[in-house]
Structure 1
Amino acid sequence: MNKQVITKLEFFLNSLIQRVEENIDFVKGVEFIFKSGTKEYKGIYNFDEGTLFFNGNKQKIKFDQIAEIIKNESQKYESLGFKLFERGKTTIILADNKGVKLKNVDEETIAVSDEHDTAALNLKRDYYIKINEASELLKAIGILTKDGKLKNDMIRKYNQIDHFVELIDAYLDELGELDTINVLDCACGKSYLTFVLNYYIKEKKKKNCYFIGIDTSDIVIQNSTKIAKQLGYRNMEFIKGNIKDYMPEKRIDIVISLHACDIATDLALGAAIQFNSKAIFAVPCCHRELLEQVKFENLNEIFKHGIFKSRFSDLLTDGIRGLLLESAGYKVSIVEYISPLETPKNLLIRAIKVSDRNVKAIEEYKKLKNLFSIQPYLERYLNL
């Protein structure tokens, strides 16, 4: 290639390298092919190892050295095809003696569903996490089989995580123009939501993100770490520990929690308040804390039926949680997450930070606290 083309190519590569260094967590790899006549000479850069394999040789180099290497090699060949693979897109540079072209293309994957799979789904629904686009992810977290078929025992889970994404999608846009959205998953378990949201925010919403999962189980932390490595999701970390002892090193923008038992949900909500999180999305599980506390003589004839007292305590617990979040300056909505036919634990608490405090909500909370003789755990995270 001539000098004029090589100079322009070097400029393109240096600009690309600068962008990569600012978003290194989302880069999958680099490939390039030089051509002379009918012969091709392929190069591959491995980010994990920091190695370049080219012309049968493997060498340890820094990524920012690639531009210089390609510039020097370009003098020997007629054309170059360069590809940078990132999460959600591929950047391509094509160069020959006629000039240099750069283009970005969204990732495409092969459709994997068949009649058996789609028959199990809601065909009228426009899924946010589409099987044919997110097959690599869905295989890794166990929703699809290795050959890309939806597992019968994972249909409900797939529908649940997709509906969760639907319910918080608009709220993601309310977070403003953050350089990176940092998400904390409390009691992350198998981390279905964490992996799916990572994919959706980065590859569909085209926003940078970073995920932290925390759980007390060694096994789930090890497994989630393994899956993240398998997917090449370097913008994730998983920590063994208790959320009440956790102090983040990063700003926390979103806190999520799915079916954390009893006060574990309050620990997640409390952490969000303590970290001044911009948004909270929590699906509570069992409720035991207020069941033994709640007292209201006017309802004794109703509460003598244990099931009524239990259901009332469930509603009171989540209602109080919503009110306490409002008192901390959050705009709160509580909606059905999935059908109650799938699980009675089907409420989603959505909260967006809008102010420092809400005095009216504090006063209303105090009235209810006295009325039902309760001392909710979440209160200790607020200065009331």
Structure 2
Amino acid sequence: MNKQNISKLTLFLMGLQNRFTENNLIFKGIYVTFTTGLKEFRGVGSLDEDKIKYNFNGRTQTYDIASLFEKIADDAQSYETLSLIYKERGTDILISADNKNVKMTNTEVKDVEEEVSISTNTTSKAVHSLGETSTLLNRDYYIKVGKADALLKEIGIMSKEGKIKNDKIRKYNQIDHYVELLEGILDKLPKNETINILDCGCGKSYLTFVLNYYLTEVKKKKCHFIGLDYSEGVIEASKKMAKNLGYRNMEFHALDINDYVPDKKIHVVISLHACDTATDMALALGIRVNSDVIIAVPCCHRELLNSYNYEPFKGILKHGIFKARMADILTDGMRSLLLEAKGYEVSVVEYISPLETPKNLMIRAIKTKEENDKAMDEYMKLMSSLNVYPALYAYLNRY
């Protein structure tokens, strides 16, 4: 290859070097093909900690990224053409070079199973055992079969053959709707910095893996995920899944939410189905660290059930079922009001159909201003009227 085009190639490789340096957590590999006449010579590079292990012509050596690209540019002088694919999660960058031209193109990754078809029985009718809420929906999914196959298989929604499992259609619809509900909110986050997302009581982190996939590979946002759970077992399971998927922008800690001290700016706090006052711990942490966004899908509500009373409703609340349902509403309603008092704009939406579960609300809070004194006064009056001292208020005053 001539010197002029070697110089152009070097400039393109410098761009890839900067890309790697800025975010090597989404790097997947480098695939190089040199040709001379009809002969091809291939090189493959993979990440080994912060270096690249590169095999070329049967010999494997370890390089830093700058040294590797210097070697590739030097080797290119001995061949007629070069094809280099730099693979990231969700993106392939192709550099093609010969004696006439050097060009670089970005292409969205198309998995081998992009054209996977879902069985007619699955798409055309509800699976009888799951009922009407369990059909695949007639819409453009955010988490697409084909592109997201590796993720869907790892979290158990897709079979090895590339089909959504009949008994997981409900779950597939739920995770996709979850992404839909967060789409507009996440677009409001800072665009030129790494978005740090804290999942409190993460469990096996299925939805966090889904969000990681969507933000990284679809929205092309630089992000980092932190999962907290007191169970060492589920933390180890999450670490294993992250390793299997190659999601290196994740960390998991077996830790009580109240003991967590962030070492970086937290942009988003998520709490999904954390039991009873664990949701309040997560909300309190989000408020304390001044998180830009707080998302909660509360689970069971026990705290206020046996403590609240309201004399005007005495004749109604004597019925246990009414008192329990009212406790659910008061718990989440007061959580939402206290978030407003702390400067958040709050919306409460139905996360999934009540036919699936009665615990189906999502609280979405976006930090928009300083504290709201009017909302705080209203909250204090409610505490007095209902004779309650909610856990969220207690956690905030403890720290």
Partner of 2:273: helix, strand, or coil? strand
After superposition, give the CA deviation of every residue in 1:338-383 in whole Å (9 maximum; x if it has no partner): 1000000000000000112000100100111111000001013446
Is residue 38 from structure 1 mapped to residue 38 from structure 2 by the alignment?
Answer: yes
The within-5 A match list for 1:17-166 is 17-48=17-48, 50-109=52-111, 110-112=114-116, 113-119=118-124, 120=126, 121-166=135-180
CA RMSD of aligned residues (A): 1.4
Whether the aligned pair in 2 keeps the contact of 1:274 and 1:381 (CA below 8 Å) is no
After superposition, give the CA deviation of every residue in 1:47-90 in whole Å (9 maximum; x if it has no partner): 13631100110112212211211121112110000010011111
Aligned length: 384
The within-5 A match list for 1:202-281 is 202-281=216-295
Whether the aligned pair in 2 keeps the contact of 1:273 and 1:381 (CA below 8 Å) is no
Tell me the equivalent position of 1:318: 332
Q: CA deviation at 1:125?
A: 2.4
Q: CA deviation at 1:273?
A: 0.4
Question: 2 CA distance for matches of 1:114 and 1:91?
Answer: 33
Q: After the TM superposition, which segments of 4 or more aligned residues of structure 1 sit over 6 Å from their partners?
A: none
Q: CA deviation at 1:275?
A: 1.0
Letter aligned with residue 44 of structure 2: I
- TM-score of the superposed pair, with normalisation by structure 1: 0.97
After superposition, give the CA deviation of every residue in 1:172-226 in whole Å (9 maximum; x if it has no partner): 1112324111101111111111101011111111111111111111121111111
Question: 2 CA distance for matches of 1:116 and 1:58?
Answer: 49
Whether the aligned pair in 2 keeps the contact of 1:117 and 1:149 (CA below 8 Å) is no
Question: 2 CA distance for matches of 1:193 and 1:48?
Answer: 28
Q: Sort the Cα spacing of 1:64 and 1:114 in 2 relative to 1 into closer, same or farther, 3 A.
A: farther
Q: CA deviation at 1:286?
A: 0.3
Q: CA deviation at 1:46?
A: 1.3
Q: Gaps (5+ residues) in structure 2?
A: 127-134
- TM-score of the superposed pair, with normalisation by structure 2: 0.94
The within-5 A match list for 1:189-204 is 189-204=203-218
Question: 1 CA distance for matches of 2:115 and 2:157?
Answer: 15
Question: 1 CA distance for matches of 2:61 and 2:229?
Answer: 39
Whether the aligned pair in 1 keeps the contact of 2:293 and 2:367 (CA below 8 Å) is yes
- Percent identical among aligned pairs is 55
Question: 1 CA distance for matches of 2:305 and 2:241?
Answer: 39
Partner of 2:327: helix, strand, or coil? helix
After superposition, give the CA deviation of every residue in 1:14-40 in whole Å (9 maximum; x if it has no partner): 121111111111111111000011111
Q: Gaps (5+ residues) in structure 1?
A: none
After superposition, give the CA deviation of every residue in 1:304-336 in whole Å (9 maximum; x if it has no partner): 211110000000000000000001100001011
Question: 1 CA distance for matches of 2:192 and 2:332?
Answer: 30
Letter aligned with residue 230 of structure 1: N
Letter aligned with residue 64 of structure 1: A
